[in-house]
A and B are shown apart, each in its own frame.
Chain A
Amino acid sequence: MNKVWKLSILVIGLLAVVGLQVFAASPIKITFNTLFHEADAQAMQKIIDNFNATHTDVQVELTQGGWTQYYAQMKLAVMAGNAPQLGICHANKLVEMADYLTPLDNSPVGNILQMAGFNPDDYVSANWKAGELNGHHYLIPLDTHGWGLWYNKDIFKAAGLDPNNPPQNLADFINACDKIKVAGYYAFHPAEDAAPRKLRRAWYVFYWQMGGQLFDKNYTHATFNNPKGLLALQFLVDIFHDFGWNKPGSNGYDQFAAGKLGMLVAGNWYYGTAVSSGVNWGYAPMPNFFGIPYTWGNSHQLAIPLQPKGTPKAVYLAAAEVIKYISEHSHIWTMYGGHITAYKSEATNPELLASDYWTKSGKWLNEMAQKGLVHFPINNPHGSELEQAIQAQIQLAVNGQITPQEALNKAEADCNKILQGK
């Protein structure tokens, strides 16, 4: 073999080795953009770090941040042909977001659910169904999150109440509040920090507990301006006025963390603050005030935003692989993020069941979720506008600036205008 041949073989061999190395060192990159912040963002970071450490073929670039403009950003990213390969969608946002998401059972590369081996039976049924719309499946459930009752055990003792038996019905609840008030504390805050949307959710809870419906089935008109809606709102208003259990505009989060508040209705995301506050706290399911002990809640779901034409099948499958991994490791999500996993087998993970979070609060929220008592918000393309129309009036009623009946009249009129496109 002459020198030229030897040299050629050497060069080709070197090129092949370099080429293989380059190929091997180029995993599929999945961009995952979430709306998480604080504890849940850290929990998702843990899961994704674990994924990246154990996978060489797919690597995830995680970006997280605030939720306020998340859906608008996602829509704009899809329009710009620059959407992340993975995103989050609240269950009640599906109607609004479906045009911007990949139908997983009918994607441009085929049925991703089948190809990636998703089994609906692995997930909590209600959460799985929340990902379906118009005969297609768009979302894979991640969790259920929602409100429960946080109470201060030391205040309970000071008020002569049993700190291990928080009230679970209306009579006991009123009795507890009155005793806490007499003991010199704020008795109860029904809505976290009293932001307008939180007050609306508190009213929803009371209204839903009476079996109330906010809109008719086809969303042609509002159906909340009735005696049940009025009673629910009157109860909410009285908490801040006639009952004297708290004062309008006050921040329940801060009151509770400062040891000034007996009972607070807040989401599972309050866990970290409750722990770090030093308050001797307990957690209970939402009391049964008016018949059915519903609480307000929602479900984070994983989605593949609509991808530009020509996106390779491998990218879709890689995104699905990440979703599966997150599902199968979602006990971490629950332990550190506080939201209850929707993947059934992960809810019995021994590490999770032994964790402080689970024993002190998570198991109660899980119980509410399992019993179907976590009521999701309205699911309508005009959902945000409708809810703002309601909350503006609820807040004024809570402040005592209009009567509950005036609030419902105005909210009903505004919602009907929105629904009828006026």
Chain B
Amino acid sequence: MGRRIGEFLYRHHGLEGVLYALPFVSLWAVFLAWPVGYGIYISLFKWNPMLGSKFVGLANYAELFHSLRFWNAVANTFKFAGMTIPLIIGVGFVFALMVWGWGRTHRGAGIIQSVLFFPYLLTVSIVAIVWKWLFDRDFGLVQQGINAIFPSAPMLLNSTVWALPVIAIATAWWLSGYRMVVLQAGLEEIPRDLFEAAAIDGAKGHHQFFHIILPLIKPSLLFALVLTIISAFRTFGQVLMMTEGGPGRSTEVLALYMYWVGFDYFDVGKAAAAGVVLLFMILALTLAGVKLLGLRSELQ
């Protein structure tokens, strides 16, 4: 029997690959492709199986595009992404360089790495509660410090100007550790002899950074960038817990808007439409990131 199967697979050698891929493809289809497809499908309905769903075509999208609240959420999402993506990648990169550089000449890099990575192990609720406390008007260490220097400074989490940047900083603190690990792995891949050769040729540290490190770390940078774009655009928990989208609607990002519409107003079709818009936004930005880094080959 086993021999027959072996012979069959030998004769149909393409099938063997399909069989290897089947477990992943099945899971991918059930847990990713089907939900995404179904999400797109229900975005075309006033969805309510209890009372009868009604096909409305693109009406949910039209409703969204005519809603000032939706555009406010889109704008907030872009503002938030504009702050968090450079912050997370930048801080993660600096951490990675620190740990990598320290590890070349000293012991104990693992301890530093663990400390810097630690926030990533926390859940979003803990991160949000800790940072909310730090910025509490009466008891928050950071807010008290700010008020000691600037007595008339507003409570930052209650300010339409500052609330979003504070959430962005909290998010960077939370997520930078993982980007550090990704980028550090990229740094470790760079052959040491390149640096030695460059040093012999008289290249200074900044030359080595721009002409060796940056070009060779691009694949890791792309991976970190894609992860960060996705994280930034679907940010939800920390906004819900730190400001509930306020003051007013100044921190209401798209994922939070979707949550209100879907789970609070139970307008599931409209929430699904917002989800589809978010999906395409993330997709477009990810592809833009790939193009920007000139790494088309990484996707092939």
Which A residues lie at the B interface, using CB under 8 A? 68-69, 71-72, 75, 78-79, 96, 99-100, 195-197, 247-251, 254-255, 258, 260, 382, 384-385, 388, 392-393, 395-396, 399, 401
Q: Cβ of B248 < 8 Å from any Cβ of A?
A: yes
Q: How far is the CB of B85 from chain A (nearest CB, A)?
A: 27
Q: A254 to B137, alpha carbons, bound, how many Å?
A: 10
Per-position binary interface string of chain B over residues 148-160, scored 1 when its CB falls under 8 Å from any chain A CB and 0 otherwise: 0000001101111
Given A249-B155, A250-B138, 12 additional A-B pairs, CB 8 A: A96-B266, A99-B50, A196-B246, A196-B247, A249-B157, A254-B138, A258-B139, A260-B138, A388-B260, A392-B249, A396-B247, A401-B160
Question: Closest chain A residue to B135 by CB distance?
Answer: A249
Q: Is the CB of B246 within 8 A of A392?
A: yes
Tell which of B137, B244, B262 touches A249, judged by Cβ atoms closer than 8 Å: B137
Residues of B within 8 A of A249 (CB): 137, 154-155, 157-158
Q: How far is the CB of A326 from chain B (nearest CB, A)?
A: 27
Given contacts A248-B155, A248-B158, A384-B264, contact A395 B248 (CB under 8 A): yes
Residues of A within 8 A of B247 (CB): 196, 395-396, 399, 401
Question: Closest chain A residue to B69 by CB distance?
Answer: A414
Q: Cβ of B34 < 8 Å from any Cβ of A?
A: no
Main secondary structure of the interface of B (DSSP, over half): loop
Residues of A within 8 A of B158 (CB): 248-249, 399
Q: Is the CB of B49 within 8 A of A79?
A: yes
Q: A122 to B138, alpha carbons, bound, how many Å?
A: 47
The 5 A-B pairs with the shortest beta carbon distances in the complex, nearest first, are A249-B158, A249-B155, A72-B263, A396-B248, A384-B264
Residues of A within 8 A of B264 (CB): 72, 384-385, 388
18 contacts between A and B (CB under 8 A): A69-B263, A100-B50, A195-B244, A196-B246, A247-B137, A249-B154, A249-B155, A249-B157, A250-B138, A251-B138, A258-B138, A384-B265, A385-B264, A388-B260, A392-B245, A392-B249, A395-B248, A399-B158
Q: A190 to B51, alpha carbons, bound, how many Å?
A: 41
Residues of B within 8 A of A258 (CB): 138-139
Residues of A within 8 A of B260 (CB): 384-385, 388
Q: A353 to B216, alpha carbons, bound, how many Å?
A: 75
Question: Closest chain A residue to B66 by CB distance?
Answer: A422
Q: Is the CB of A72 within 8 A of B262?
A: yes
Q: How far is the CB of B41 from chain A (nearest CB, A)?
A: 16
Question: Closest chain B residue to A382 by CB distance?
Answer: B265
Q: Is the CB of B248 within 8 A of A392?
A: yes
Q: How far is the CB of A27 from chain B (nearest CB, A)?
A: 30
Q: Is the CB of A255 within 8 A of B138?
A: yes
The A-contacting residues of B in range 123-171, CB under 8 angstroms, are: 136-139, 154-155, 157-160
Question: Closest chain B residue to A247 by CB distance?
Answer: B137
Question: Closest chain A residue to B159 by CB distance?
Answer: A399
Tell which of B138, B248, B263 touches A393, judged by Cβ atoms closer than 8 Å: B248
